[in-house]
Chains A and B, each alone.
Chain A
């Protein structure tokens, strides 16, 4: 393996990112890269989704990845297909993918946003959500707050998630439940729509 190491060092010196995937020696199961590359067909290369609905995974905090995958596995988080897929991975494999995707660069989805509604959404966000999804649910603060990103995530995906929260199909933190329910009671589905337009515009 000496030559490989030298090559690796040389490539790092050239500023090339050489993935560890190919140098794994076969012990300890598939590498983080090998596991994560196989998600790309649905979530995009390195987790950057081209949409229109599949969520971007790039930049997702590791703890959120683990919690979400375990939620899919147990069935706590409703899903069309992730339940069937998450059950294919051990806890250790999910950890590896958590490491991989946390390192990938997030980019906001390219999608339309209604500016008028977004303005209203901004206000609702500040009132009900900002406390835990700070700076408008931005990726930077999502990492800090250890929550899923809202700003720049694909709109249809967030819409499904919020519908599942509101309808009680998906469990959520108690305090979030209170805020979301209050918001929904007051503003109705129009409130959800406004929030979605706000996140889509960021």
Chain B
């Protein structure tokens, strides 16, 4: 079990981390520390938690188990689809975390033995005092006939950024002018509620410039979606949009009333790029199917999920309510009213980090505070810079044992008669600033 001795730690953390490790080594001698945290998943939640534990208490050994050498951010991946950004602009590595003394192991976690406090991985077992699980999402392929992980290589969901983002971009580039792009957003709850609609906006921006006779059809299993009014206003303004369930503009959006299956996806024919919903059948030139989601596989394998496939947690510490000493953060966790977003995952990572550091030092979990913001860039061409956002500050309510919205805070970018073109242009710049800062805060 104790593969992870201090000597190994010092050896493994590399030259860059040597200084930090040496410092923590001296605290082992005095403070009787040497507590171990293993983090599974080095995305927005996991990487942030790993870094902040080390920032708060460098006597704690932190090992990060991450499957991939490179991380591609989902956020701003829609700008790769429109050609504003290159795929390499959203690629991040793990050397920054090494500098904070986080030991990064590139391996696949396969299970957690919570009785023995061991994370099992393709690179061996790692013992922990506390464990953080942040695996992001997995897809429920079995809900759509004719669609699975293999088909998704050709008909990409691109809901985890990386090679599928590039595939989708190439398909858009290869499409003829006058083609049809069909996007099938997922049912709730899912990663990044405004994401599919920002995607439609970014693709429309590309088509308007390069293939103006083309159109985008969205078949949505929901009656409405995040930033509903703001997106529709933006589509009308920039791309032609004739209202819900109407044809004629560049973007068409078809929703599904409650208790109906109108645009609930039933099947996909990969060969002909045809999708069938309860009511519609569309043959597309480029097809983007985003399946329903659950917590990442390891969460289920470790017994951390409920019957709906997500992980219930105590919102004050993000400790699983099913398994002791295991904390779940990010998209995999049920953190409502916090949405499944990168900003929320980062915020949860910091709350979990502070709780774990306190608990490992025999203290009580501190009072948390949380923030979320999601930017969406509807348009970013000269003369039409249009960014929007939703924000919220959250607090912990000890009485109800719940995360609550702080009254009076948050909300949406003003629209309608309060729309301010200058402020919208600033929001594009600030969305890009957010990207720079949150990635530096996570991986730097």
Report the minimum CB–CB distance from A28 to chain B (whole Å): 8
Contact B441 A14 (CB under 8 A): no
A176 at the interface (CB under 8 A from B): no
Per the bound structure, the CA–CA distance linking A34 and B350 in Å amounts to 8
Contact B23 A26 (CB under 8 A): no
Residue among A35, A42, A52 facing the most chain B CB atoms (10 A cut-off):
A42
| Given known A80-B426, A80-B430, contact A41–B347 (CB-CB < 8 A) | yes
Contact A16 B23 (CB under 8 A): yes
Report the minimum CB–CB distance from B130 to chain A (whole Å): 13
Binds A, one of B55-63, B137-145, B260-268: B55-63
Can you sample 25 A-B contacts with CB below 8 Å? A11-B57, A13-B30, A16-B58, A18-B57, A19-B56, A21-B354, A25-B364, A26-B367, A28-B367, A29-B369, A31-B366, A38-B347, A38-B350, A38-B369, A42-B430, A42-B433, A44-B437, A44-B440, A53-B426, A78-B423, A80-B426, A85-B393, A85-B409, A87-B406, A156-B429
Binds A, one of B172-180, B228-236, B297-305, B355-363: B355-363
Report the minimum CB–CB distance from B402 to chain A (whole Å): 16
Contact B434 A54 (CB under 8 A): yes
Q: Inside 8 A of B59's CB, which chain A residues have their CB? A: 7, 11
Contact B367 A29 (CB under 8 A): yes
Given contacts A21-B354, A89-B406, 11 further A-B pairs with CB under 8 A are A7-B31, A10-B27, A14-B30, A26-B366, A26-B367, A30-B369, A30-B395, A35-B369, A52-B432, A81-B391, A88-B408
Q: Inside 8 A of A28's CB, which chain B residues have their CB? A: 367
A6 at the interface (CB under 8 A from B): yes
Contact B358 A23 (CB under 8 A): yes
Q: Inside 8 A of B33's CB, which chain A residues have their CB? A: 7
Per the bound structure, the CA–CA distance linking A43 and B433 in Å amounts to 8
Contact B23 A34 (CB under 8 A): no
Per the bound structure, the CA–CA distance linking A10 and B30 in Å amounts to 7
Please tell me which one of the listed residues A1, A14, A35, A93 contacts residue B27 in the complex, with CB atoms under 8 A apart.
Answer: A14
Contact B369 A87 (CB under 8 A): no
Contact string against A for B residues 406-444, beta-carbon threshold 8 Å, 1 for contact and 0 otherwise: 101111010000000001001101101110111011001
Q: Inside 8 A of B30's CB, which chain A residues have their CB? A: 7, 10, 13-14
Q: Inside 8 A of B282's CB, which chain A residues have their CB? A: none
Q: Inside 8 A of A44's CB, which chain B residues have their CB? A: 437, 440-441
B370 at the interface (CB under 8 A from A): yes
Q: Inside 8 A of A88's CB, which chain B residues have their CB? A: 371, 392-393, 406, 408-410
Q: Interface on A for B, CB 8 Å cutoff?
A: 1, 3-4, 6-7, 10-11, 13-16, 18-19, 21-26, 28-31, 33-35, 37-45, 49-54, 78, 80-81, 84-85, 87-89, 93, 156, 160
| Given known A37-B350, A49-B437, contact A22–B371 (CB-CB < 8 A) | no
Contact A87 B409 (CB under 8 A): yes
Residue of chain B at shortest CB distance from A31: B366
Q: Inside 8 A of B433's CB, which chain A residues have their CB? A: 42, 49-54
Q: Inside 8 A of A33's CB, which chain B residues have their CB? A: 56, 354
B389 at the interface (CB under 8 A from A): yes
Q: Inside 8 A of B366's CB, which chain A residues have their CB? A: 21-26, 30-31, 34
For the A-B complex, the count of residue pairs with Cβ-Cβ distances under 8 Å equals 179
Residue among A22, A44, A87 facing the most chain B CB atoms (10 A cut-off):
A22
Contact B408 A41 (CB under 8 A): no
Report the minimum CB–CB distance from A31 to chain B (whole Å): 6
| Given known A53-B430, A88-B393, contact A3–B361 (CB-CB < 8 A) | yes
Contact B367 A85 (CB under 8 A): no
B346 at the interface (CB under 8 A from A): yes
Please tell me which one of the listed residues A3, A38, A41, A84 contacts residue B434 in the complex, with CB atoms under 8 A apart.
Answer: A41
Per the bound structure, the CA–CA distance linking A145 and B71 in Å amounts to 44
| Given known A10-B31, A54-B433, contact A34–B368 (CB-CB < 8 A) | yes
Contact A11 B31 (CB under 8 A): yes
Residue of chain B at shortest CB distance from A86: B409
Contact B370 A38 (CB under 8 A): yes
Report the minimum CB–CB distance from A151 to chain B (whole Å): 20
Per the bound structure, the CA–CA distance linking A53 and B429 in Å amounts to 6
B400 at the interface (CB under 8 A from A): no
Contact B410 A22 (CB under 8 A): no
Q: Inside 8 A of B362's CB, which chain A residues have their CB? A: 1, 3-4
Please tell me which one of the listed residues B52, B361, B367 contacts residue A7 in the complex, with CB atoms under 8 A apart.
Answer: B361
B365 at the interface (CB under 8 A from A): yes
Task: Kindly list the 7 A-B residue pairs having the minimum CB-CB distance in the complex, ordered from nearest.
Answer: A88-B393, A88-B409, A54-B433, A30-B369, A10-B30, A22-B357, A50-B436
Per the bound structure, the CA–CA distance linking A51 and B27 in Å amounts to 36
Residue among B56, B57, B433 facing the most chain A CB atoms (10 A cut-off):
B433
B214 at the interface (CB under 8 A from A): no
Residue of chain B at shortest CB distance from A23: B363
Contact B354 A4 (CB under 8 A): no
